[in-house]
C-alpha cells in the first residue's frame, strides 16, 4: 500500500477516485485488482479478509470487525463491478475518477463504487476506534451487474457461514433526496423488484433477399416491438408502495395530498402519474410489473430472409408476483405473432422486516433536521435477493445529501455519472455512526 493511501479513509472522495480507476466493467468483470487494493487497506488496518473466488480473477471479499457481543451483527455490502462505459460523450473520462466542480466523476460513482467507498471508509474509521457493540461484516461482491452468479450468489450458496449472526444489512440505494410537489423526501429502500428474463421467438417464411417478402418474421417482430412500446401492464398496489405514498401525502398541502393518494386507486394511477412529469416517470415502476425489449437477433446473411427473430425482454416484478404472471400480463401485446420460448427469473422477497428502519431514519434526521424519511421499493434488483435466502433483510442506505440539479437515477448507467465530494463525506459519517451505534436486536 502506498504511503499516500495510509489515511485514505479520512478522504472518502479520494478513495472513490482510486476505486473508479480500476476498470471493472462487466462484462468481463476483472474485479481482482480492485479487490486486491481493498484487501490491502483492510489488512493494513488489522482486519482479516476472506476471499471467495468462483471464477479466476473475479474475487469477492468478506471482512468481519469483531464487536463486544452486546448487539447482533450488522452487514454492509456492495459490488465492485460496473456497467461498461463508452469513452466518448463524457465531460471527464469514465475511468479516471477526476475530481472537478465539486464532484468525483466516473463510471461507478453512484452505482456503486461511491457506496463501496463510503462503507469502506466508515468501516476503517470504526476499526480505529475499537470494538463496536456488535460484529460488523463488510462484503464486496463481484458480478452484481450480471446477476451475481460469480459473486453474491456463489458466496451465499457455498459459504453462508460468512454471514453468521446477520439479520439486517445495508447496501444500495437510499438516503438521497427525492423531490415531488415542491417537497423533499429521503427514501430508504426496504424492498426491491424481481427479475424475469423472457425470450420471444417470432417465426415466418424464409426466402431469398431478392424476392419481396411481406408479413415475414422481420415485419412481425417490428409489430411486436411497437406494441410492447405502448403497452401498459395492469396497475398493482403493493403494501410497501402504499406505505410510501401515504408517508409522502402526509407532508403535502391538502390538494396535492388528495391527488397523490389517488395513486393507490388503480383507475386513477396512470392519469395522475402523467400529471407529475419526471416524478411520475420515477414512480411508475412502483405500480406495475414492467418489460422492455433489450436484445434482438436473427438472420445469417444479407441475402437470406430469416425464418426466426429472437427478442430478449427485461421484465421486472413487484413483490408478490412471479415471472409467469408477467408473461400472462404481456400476452395481449404479443398476440399470435410471438411465442414465449424461455422464461428465467425470480420472484422478489415478499416479507419485509422494518426493524432497522427507525434507527436509519434517526441517523439521517440527525444530519438533516426535519428530513422526511419514507420507505421505498427499488425499481431494479440487487444482490439483496441472494442474501434474502439467508433470512437477511437489506436496506438501501448510502446517504447522499445531493443538491438540486445533481441527478441521481438519471446518471446511473449513463454518461457523466458523478457524486459530490461533500455527499461522500456526508454518507461516510452516517454509516460510521450506524456502526458505532450498532444493530438493534431482532424483535
Point out the residues that are catalytic: 81, 144
- Residue 353 has a CB neighbour count (10 Å cut-off) of 17
The secondary structure of 275-332, three-state, reads HCCHHHHHHHHHCCCEEEEEEEEECCCCCEECCEEEEEEEEEECCCCCHHHHHHHHHH
Report d(CA 224, CA 291) in Å as an integer: 13
71, 438 contact by CB (below 8 A): yes
Q: Name the CA dihedral angle for 356, 358, 364, 367, rounded to a multiple of 10 degrees.
A: -130
Report d(CA 412, CA 119) in Å as an integer: 19
176, 376 contact by CB (below 8 A): no
Q: Which three cell numbers stand for residue 228?
A: 410492447
In the chain, how many H helices and how many E strands? 13, 18
CA 127, distance to chain mean position in Å, is 27
The secondary structure of 386-424, three-state, reads HHHCCCCEEEECCCCCCCCCCCCCCCCCCCCCEEEHHHH
Report d(CA 265, CA 235) in Å as an integer: 9
Which of 315, 320, 376, 314 has its CA nearest to residue 351?
320
Report d(CA 171, CA 145) in Å as an integer: 14
Q: Which three cell numbers stand for residue 124?
A: 476503517
> What Cα–Cα distance (Å) separates residue 246 from each residue in 11, 230, 328, 375?
38, 29, 30, 10
Paired sense of beta strands 308-317 and 290-298, if any: antiparallel
The SS3 of residue 248 is helix
DSSP string, 72-93: -EEEEEEE--B----STT-SS-
Angle at 124 between CA 121 and CA 128, to 5 degrees: 135
107, 82 contact by CB (below 8 A): yes
Amino acid at each position: 500500500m502506498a504511503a499516500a493511501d495510509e489515511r485514505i479513509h479520512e478522504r472518502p472522495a479520494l478513495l472513490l477516485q482510486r476505486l473508479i480507476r480500476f476498470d471493472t466493467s462487466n462484462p468481463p468483470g476483472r474485479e481482482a485488482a480492485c479487490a486486491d487494493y481493498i484487501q490491502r487497506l483492510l489488512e493494513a488496518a488489522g482486519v482479516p479478509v476472506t476471499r471467495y473466488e468462483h471464477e479466476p480473477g473475479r474475487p469477492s471479499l468478506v471482512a468481519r470487525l469483531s464487536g463486544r457481543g452486546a448487539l447482533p451483527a450488522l452487514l454492509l455490502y456492495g459490488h465492485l463491478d460496473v456497467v461498461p462505459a463508452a469513452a466518448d460523450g463524457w465531460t471527464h473520462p469514465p475511468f479516471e475518477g477526476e475530481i472537478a466542480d465539486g464532484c468525483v466523476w466516473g463510471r461507478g460513482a453512484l452505482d456503486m463504487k461511491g457506496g463501496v467507498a463510503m462503507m469502506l471508509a466508515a468501516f476503517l474509521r470504526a476499526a480505529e476506534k475499537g470494538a463496536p457493540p456488535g460484529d460488523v461484516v463488510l462484503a464486496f461482491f463481484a458480478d452484481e451487474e450480471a446477476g451475481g452468479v460469480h459473486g453474491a450468489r456463489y458466496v451465499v450458496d457455498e459459504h453462508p457461514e460468512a454471514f453468521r449472526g446477520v439479520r439486517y444489512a445495508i447496501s444500495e440505494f437510499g438516503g438521497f433526496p427525492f423531490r415531488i410537489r415542491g417537497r423533499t423526501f429521503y427514501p430508504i429502500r426496504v424492498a426491491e423488484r424481481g427479475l424475469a428474463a423472457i425470450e420471444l421467438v417470432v417465426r415466418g417464411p424464409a426466402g431469398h433477399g431478392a424476392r419481396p417478402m411481406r408479413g415475414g418474421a422481420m415485419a412481425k417482430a417490428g409489430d411486436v416491438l411497437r406494441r410492447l412500446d405502448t403497452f401498459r401492464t395492469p396497475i398493482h398496489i403493493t403494501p410497501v408502495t402504499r406505505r410510501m405514498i401515504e408517508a409522502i401525502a402526509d407532508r403535502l398541502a391538502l390538494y396535492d395530498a388528495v391527488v397523490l393518494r389517488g395513486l393507490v386507486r388503480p383507475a386513477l394511477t396512470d392519469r395522475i402519474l402523467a400529471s407529475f412529469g419526471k416524478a411520475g416517470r420515477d414512480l411508475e415502476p412502483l405500480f406495475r410489473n414492467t418489460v422492455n425489449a433489450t436484445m434482438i437477433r436473427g438472420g445469417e446473411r444479407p441475402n437470406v430472409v430469416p425464418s426466426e427473430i429472437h427478442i430478449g425482454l427485461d421484465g421486472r416484478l413487484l413483490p408478490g408476483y412471479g415471472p409467469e404472471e408477467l408473461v400472462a400480463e404481456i400476452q395481449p401485446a404479443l398476440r399470435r405473432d410471438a411465442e414465449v420460448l424461455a422464461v428465467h427469473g425470480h420472484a422478489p422477497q415478499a416479507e419485509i422486516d422494518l426493524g432497522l428502519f427507525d434507527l436509519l431514519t434517526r441517523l439521517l434526521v440527525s444530519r438533516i433536521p426535519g428530513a422526511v424519511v419514507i420507505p421505498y421499493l427499488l425499481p431494479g434488483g440487487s444482490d439483496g435477493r441472494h442474501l434474502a435466502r439467508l433470512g437477511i433483510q437489506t436496506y438501501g442506505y448510502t446517504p447522499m445529501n445531493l443538491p438540486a440539479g445533481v441527478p441521481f437515477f438519471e446518471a446511473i448507467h449513463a454518461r457523466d455519472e458523478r457524486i459530490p465530494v461533500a455527499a461522500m463525506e456526508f454518507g461516510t459519517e452516517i454509516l460510521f455512526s450506524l456502526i458505532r451505534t450498532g444493530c438493534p436486536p431482532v424483535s
